[in-house]
Chain A
Amino acid sequence: MSFWDKVEGIDRRWIYLMVGLMVLIPFIFPAKFPISITPEAQALFDAVEAVPDGSTVMVVFDYYPSTAAECEPMAVGAFHHFFRKNCKIITLSNIPLGGPSMAETVSRDMAVQYGKEYGLDFVNLGYKYGYVAVLSGMGVSIESIFPTDNSGTPLSELPLMDSIVNYEQIAFIWEIADNATADYWASIVNAQYSVPMVCGATAVMAPKFYAFVAAGQFLGLLGGMKGAAEYELLLNESGAAVVGMGAQSLVHLLIIALVILGNLGFFLGRRYREKKR
């Protein structure tokens, strides 16, 4: 067995160990590298900046708890940005598993920071089944789709919802998604009701949404934890995404090194065997 055959057949546990170390090292020895801002992230920031102060906006938590590492920094960033502009925030989710609870956690934490009051400055509508029906139905009446908020309080008892009937009173939508629900926000809410919106998506989903950015349906886009880190920098908030960039950098570099090594092992090992014959 040649050296390259041994390289190709390396035990997977060594690879797991290397990945584990690459995740840990940046937290023990943090190193800062410049994070550049992509045009899509800058466009998103500018679009939120352009929202009139004090207007009512929606932040949509369409992600599962499993992708919170990528999506939650975006949600936190959105709350920073809107609360700084004194905007009123309505949150909702099309994800039954966790969406409403994550919206609850993020909004309550951020409200404490900015001294905002539930029912007056922000409301969590929670989850309702059937995203196409929900998005379409809210175009006519939000209260007919969500008669109560996430805790079961009737919307009529929440002062923020007094003046909100449908999308006409919503100045802006910030969709955070780890799945294809963002398609429906673009094709139903933006296309049919012309509500300006932006999207933050996991790195896996983001490539799909470039089409909506190019079409002008999403005014900006954040892709994965890197996108969230760009947004944190634009907001002058060094949050979880900027911290996570070190681990993500090293793991990406490790995977690239492994792909190169694996290919070297495959081709040089094959050449060695052919020569031997």
Chain B
Amino acid sequence: MRTTIPVAIAFLTGVIVVLATWFRDDSFIGGLKQELIIWLTIVGGFTLLLGVVSITRVSWGSIQRRSDGWGYKALTLLGVFAMAIPSVLSPTWSTAFGRADGSIYDWLFNYLQMPMMSTMFATLAFYIASAAYRAFRARTVEATLLLITATLVMLWRVPMGEYFLNLFPGDIPSLLNTYIMNGVNLAVQRGIMIGAALGAAAMSLRIMLGIERTYMGKG
């Protein structure tokens, strides 16, 4: 029963959504699909709530046991609730609540979260420079091709590099755009996308037919 019902739900909802492709939006099947889509966004909202519950349970347990790094867990909880609670309270009570301009949430987002995330991402430039210096070696023909292509594209994508490329005859930037970005890159990207789409279609079919059950925690 615990397996059959979820498989039946997956099959029925999958079939309705696939069938709706061939029906008008205002048909019965189209309406059913729209209803399922609304349900999905509601259920999805609860999964986000589940995430908050999960991180609270795990972090609170660590804080109570005073395990390694419990201070970080306390900060995590503080961050989660300092942003979440004022944002879900009604802005009619106070302009500090809600998510509008000037609210607590807005302030924390603009002056703490955004700079912190940007800083974390910006440090990648340092690691990439160091990694490129140590690991990007022309050991094989393939690696050499990759290295030359990457170097040319990196030059092309910045004004100083493009200025340098234009010192040579033959409009190299235009050739790079035509033959690398709109040539080799395009062909490879299309291959990857078609492969991924076929894989997703196969996986969906496996879920609908009950062959794939890992989403229920079963192999």
Contact = CB atoms under 8 A, between A and B. Distances in A.
A35 B44 CA distance: 44
A252 interface: yes
A258 B134 CA distance: 9
A57 B185 CA distance: 31
B128 to A, nearest CB: 7
Contacts of B90: 152
Nearest to B34: A140
A15 B130 contact: yes
Interface string B154-192: 110111111100000000010001000110011001101
Contacts of A267: 138
Nearest to B105: A101
Given A15-B129, A104-B99, A266 B137 contact: yes
B182 A210 contact: yes
B118 A38 contact: no
Nearest to B181: A210
A113 interface: no
Contacts, number: 181
Nearest to B177: A38
Contact of A151 (B34, B98, B190): B98
A130 B36 CA distance: 12
A65 interface: yes
A258 B131 CA distance: 10
A261 interface: yes
B163 A33 contact: yes
A2 to B, nearest CB: 17
A64 B117 contact: yes
Is chain A's binding surface mostly helix, strand, loop or mixed? Answer: helix
B189 A33 contact: no
Interface residues of A, number: 72
B48 A258 contact: no
A137 interface: yes
Interface in B96-118: 98-101, 105-106, 109-110, 113-114, 117-118
Given A207-B185, A259-B147, A254 B137 contact: no
A255 to B, nearest CB: 5
Contacts of B100: 104, 150-151
B37 A133 contact: yes
Nearest to B101: A108
Contacts of A226: 157-159
A211 B99 contact: no
List the 3 shortest-distance A-B pairs measured between CB atoms, nearest first: A129-B44, A66-B121, A33-B159
16 contacts: A18-B129, A23-B125, A67-B121, A98-B117, A104-B101, A105-B106, A108-B101, A129-B41, A133-B37, A137-B41, A150-B100, A210-B182, A211-B189, A223-B157, A252-B158, A256-B151
Given A137-B41, A248-B158, 7 more contacts: A18-B129, A34-B159, A139-B25, A150-B100, A250-B160, A258-B129, A261-B133
